[in-house]
Structure formats: C-alpha cells, structure tokens
Amino acid sequence: MAGVAFGIYALAQSVFQIPFGWASDKLGRKPVLLAGLLIFTVGSVLCAEANTINELIIARIIQGMGAVSSVAIAALGDLTRPQVRAQSFTIVGITIGIAFLAAIIIGPYLAAKIGFSSVFYVLAASGALALVLTLFFFPKIDNGQPVGERAGFRALLRMPEMRRLLLATVVVSLSVNLFVFVYPLTWTSLGVSDASLWKVYLISLIPAALFVYPAVRMAEKKGRMAAIVKTGWALIALAFLTYPVLSKAALIFYGAGMLFFAGHTIMQSILPAFVTQRVSQANRGAATGLYNLLSFAGSSAGGIMAGYLYHLHPSAPMTVGFLVIIAWGIAGLPTAPDITNPE
C-alpha cells in the first residue's frame, strides 16, 4: 500500500497532462497554471492531514491532479524566441536537477526533524508560493506567429518528427529510472551509506551543471543542434555501456554518473524545446501534454523493468537499457527544426 501511495502521484500526473495542456490552449496558460497549482497545494495539505494509508492514497491522487508541467513547458515555448529556446529549456533543466539534489538532501532531514506529515506542509507552502508568483508576476503571453503546422492529436502523431520526439522522451524517461535504480545500489555495494549518497549525486551532477548550458548555447548559436542531440545520445549510451564491462572502481562509477546526467540534462533540455518549435502556439499545450504523458509512461515502464531485471541479475537493467538506447539511435534521433538564427 505504501508503494501505491508512492507511485499513484505519477499515475495521476500522467493521466491529467493532456487535459491540462488542451485546456491551456483554449483558456490560456495562466488560469490553468493557477488551477493546477491550487489543486496541488490542496492535495499536499490533505496528504499532511491523512490518518490512514487509504486517505494518503486518495490525497496523493488529488495532489497529482495538479498536472501543470505540460502547461509550463508550453508557456516557456510561448515566451521565448525559437532561436534561444533550447538555451531557456536548458536553464530550466539544470534548475530541476538542483531541486532534485536539494530534495535528496533536505527531504530525509525534514522528515527526521519535523515528521513525515510535515514534509507535505512544506510542499503545500511551496505550492502556495508558486501560486502567488504566478498570480502576480506571470508575464502576459501574446498570440505570436505560429511555429510549425497547426495540428490536432491525430495530425501530431502523423508527423514523423513528432513521432521521433515522442519516442525519444519514452526512451530517455525509461533510461532514467533504469539508471537511478541501479546507481545508488552500486554505491552501497561499495560501502557508501544511504546518508552519504547525496555527495555522490552532487559530484556526478557537476559536469551537467557546468558544461551543458554553454554547450547547448554554442550549438544553438552556430546552428549545430544536430550535433548536440547526437552528443546527448552518445553520453547516455556510454554511461550504460560502462556497467556490464567495469570492475568495482569508484572512479569509473563516478564517470558513468557524470556521463549519464550530462546526457540526460541535454536531452531533457532540447526535447521539449523541439516539441514547442514543431507546433503552432494554438496547439502547443496539447502537444506538450502528449509529450509529458509519454514521458511519465516511460518512467513507469523503467521503474517496473528495473526491479524485475535487477532481480534476474544486477547488471541486467543496464544491459537492457544500453540495447534500448542503441535501438533508439538506429530508429532515428530527433532533428532540430530548421530555424533561421538572426545574428
């Protein structure tokens, strides 16, 4: 039941991505963002007040119904020029990585100091703060010129480049759960305690934090986004390749983590940017909703596969992940939209 309470949030998020994205196309980004943040905040309070596991599960469903990530992606696409969009998404991606690391460090500390339920009050306060910031400081979005072709869901799925992007987000999200399932277990097998794992993540994320944004910025300026896509794919593939062939050497594991998180940050930055460039502003919320839905589906599949494969053999998740990534490369990586860079 605890596992259900843990995972039901992501399921609710995936189910509501498309409705929220579609609604933002019809009603506007700001009101839908406000509605989603309000639902998340209320759900967080209900989680804190839950007295039984069943109440917690229901509260987690409500919390997950505030699925506004697709709306946020669409809004960022609306508010940035195509020529610098990948850079903008890279900054957001790095920020999310920092938040992820902060959560690893702060979450257990808060749970120990103020209690498990109180952590949800902290989430509620964060949601309320985001609600206030959105209400008073969210910029006005003008109806700009369409980028790409106007399309509904069926038409989106008929677009070859959109299919490549959707395949990419499934594979990247699947690879994340395969990797982060095995990565900490590998370190604990080397004698690193659970309480010290945040130090491993901090070191592993350094290249992503320092080098990914300059690399994406330079590639976008010079019109070489195809090269940065291949680089991201290659880094992820190399990270997975190391596991079946390495010995128990800490430096190699650090290297694998650095390769993966750098490649993942590249992909998580440029893929949503490409999605927003492939569709018109009027359909951007629907497209990002579909993109995020498949992203959550990939994460779910990766989590299920990781546990089962690790049970078969500790290196099986990484081996299967490597084969999936190679198959993805053969099937076709996404290509950058042809956008003139006015310098």
Quick check: 45 pLDDT over 90?
Answer: yes
Q: What is the pLDDT of residue 147?
A: 40
Residue pLDDT, tens place only, 63-83? 999 988 888 888 888 888 877
Query: What is the mean pLDDT of the segment spanning 129-153?
Result: 72
25 pLDDT band (50/70/90 cuts)?
confident
Residue 38 has pLDDT above 90, yes or no: yes
CATH code of the region 2-136+153-331? 1.20.1250.20
What is the average per-residue pLDDT within 223-247? 87
Length of the chain as a residue count: 343
Q: 342 falls in which pLDDT band (50, 70, 90)?
A: very low
Average pLDDT rounded to a whole number, residues 47-51: 92
Helices 225-245 and 250-278: crossing angle, nearest 10°? 150
In this predicted structure, which of 120-129, 145-154, 252-261, 307-316 has the lowest mean pLDDT?
145-154
Phi, psi of 314, rounded to the nearest 5 degrees: -55, -30
Assign 185 a pLDDT band (cuts: 50, 70, 90): confident
Torsion over CA: 57, 60, 65, 70 (sign) = negative
> pLDDT tens across 250-306, in order?
778 888 999 999 999 999 888 988 988 888 777 788 888 888 888 888 887 887 788
- What was the pLDDT predicted at 260? 93
Q: What pLDDT does 245 receive?
A: 67
Q: Tell me what pLDDT residue 331 has.
A: 93
Proportion of the chain above pLDDT 90, given as a percent: 31
**Rounded to the nearest 5°, which phi and psi values hold at 249?**
-120, 125
Contacts of 316 (CB under 8 A, 6+ apart): 309, 310
* pLDDT score at 7: 72
Q: According to the model, what pLDDT value does residue 106 have?
A: 82
What is d(CA 79, CA 21) in angstroms, rounded to the nearest whole number? 16
Residue 246: per-residue pLDDT: 63
State the Cα–Cα distance between residues 225 and 215, nearest whole angstrom. 10
Asked whether the predicted pLDDT for residue 208 surpasses 80, the reply is yes
Kindly report the average pLDDT of the chain as a whole number.
85
pLDDT score, position 150: 46
**Is the pLDDT score of 226 beyond 70?**
yes
Mean pLDDT for the stretch of residues 107-117: 81
pTM of structure: 0.78
Running DSSP on this structure, what letter comes out for residue 65?
T
Higher pLDDT, 80 or 233: 233
For residues 204 and 217, the answer to whether their CB atoms sit within 8 Å is: no
Q: Is the pLDDT of residue 198 over 90?
A: no
- Which pLDDT belongs to residue 62? 95
Say which residue the tokens 């010129």 belong to. Answer: 145
Q: What is the pLDDT of residue 67?
A: 85
For residue 8, the model assigns a pLDDT of 82
Residue in the structure block whose two tokens are 């699947």? 174
The tokens for 151 are: 């399309």
pLDDT at 190 over 90: no
**Contact assessment for residue 139 and residue 271, using Cβ atoms and an 8 Å cutoff:** no
Tokens of 188: 């604990």
Domain boundaries, the chain: 2-136+153-331
Q: What is the DSSP annotation of 51-95?
A: -SHHHHHHHHHHHHT---HHHHHHHHHHHS-GGGHHHHHHHHHHH
pLDDT at position 142, please? 67
Q: What is the pLDDT of residue 32?
A: 93
- pLDDT for the residue 127: 95
**pLDDT at position 306, please?**
85
pLDDT at 145: 46
* Average pLDDT of span 315-334: 93
CA dist 156 and 287 (Å) reads: 7
